[in-house]
């Protein structure tokens, strides 16, 4: 249940995160962060935690009060040398889909919530195991041509019903989409925005 009204800001341009945050029935606005995301060889948890904080803090510096939510999502594959973020182009998307095809991978989302009025911060990371079905080369090429991969970590969208790439999900579906609602609810309860 919504509590007293304070400005709530989502520090993300992602329409998927926007749609998920609407589930709380709270008014909020979107302010896109200009933070430069880190892409270093650190653990996935460290990476998404760091980037979520960067995004939330960058937006918080433009505000006087309220609550800011920042998030960052990456995909990891066993034995891969680095995390998979958003593809740079179609060739990069094809590389990612080939890497994920027929394999189980993990999706990490870091969430940072800043309460500017109380000067408090909450940061958590959600992890979900996802298994992509084995795709033929032709299926992968067709999928990449649709540009459905654009602006998505790991070059796919779990909620994409047209392409049905996923066989199994162990954990939070909303985490794979980009905003783990259980984590966000816990943070918003801590701020007092929801009861």
The predicted structure's pLDDT at residue 162? 55
The predicted structure's pLDDT at residue 161? 57
pLDDT above 50: residue 3: no
The predicted structure's pLDDT at residue 1? 35
177 token code pair: 């989409």
What are the residue numbers of the active site? 72
pLDDT above 90: residue 153: no
Q: How far is CA 110 from CA 9, 19, 143, 170, in A?
A: 16, 18, 27, 18
Sheet holding 29-30, edge to edge: 29-30, 8-10, 67-76, 104-115, 120-132, 166-170
* Domains in the chain with CATH codes: 8-191 (3.90.950.10)
The predicted structure's pLDDT at residue 160? 67
Average pLDDT, the chain: 89
Task: Give dist(CA 76, CA 81) in Å, integer.
Answer: 9
What does the pLDDT look like over 73-82, one tens digit per residue?
999 988 776 7
Q: How many CA atoms lie within 13 A of 12 on its CB side?
A: 28
Is 184 or 146 the better-scoring residue by pLDDT?
Answer: 184
pLDDT above 70: residue 163: no
Task: Give dist(CA 155, CA 96) in Å, integer.
Answer: 6
């Amino acid at each position: 249940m919504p509590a007293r009204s304070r400005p709530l800001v989502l520090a993300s341009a992602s329409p998927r995160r926007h749609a998920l945050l609407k589930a709380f029935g709270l008014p909020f606005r979107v302010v896109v962060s200009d933070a430069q995301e880190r892409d270093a060889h650190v653990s996935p948890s460290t990476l998404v935690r760091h980037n979520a904080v960067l995004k939330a803090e960058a937006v918080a510096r433009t505000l006087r009060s309220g609550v800011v939510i920042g998030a960052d999502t990456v995909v990891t594959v066993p034995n891969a040398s680095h995390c998979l973020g958003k593809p740079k182009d179609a060739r990069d998307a094809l590389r990612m889909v080939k890497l994920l095809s027929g394999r189980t991978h993990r999706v990490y989302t870091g969430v940072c919530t800043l309460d500017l009025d109380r000067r408090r911060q909450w940061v958590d990371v959600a992890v979900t195991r996802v298994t992509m079905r084995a795709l033929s080369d032709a299926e992968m090429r067709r999928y990449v041509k649709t540009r459905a991969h654009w602006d998505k970590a790991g070059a796919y969208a779990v909620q994409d019903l047209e392409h049905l790439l996923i066989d199994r999900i162990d954990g939070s579906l909303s985490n794979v989409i980009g905003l783990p609602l259980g984590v966000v609810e816990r943070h918003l309860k801590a701020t007092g925005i929801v009861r």
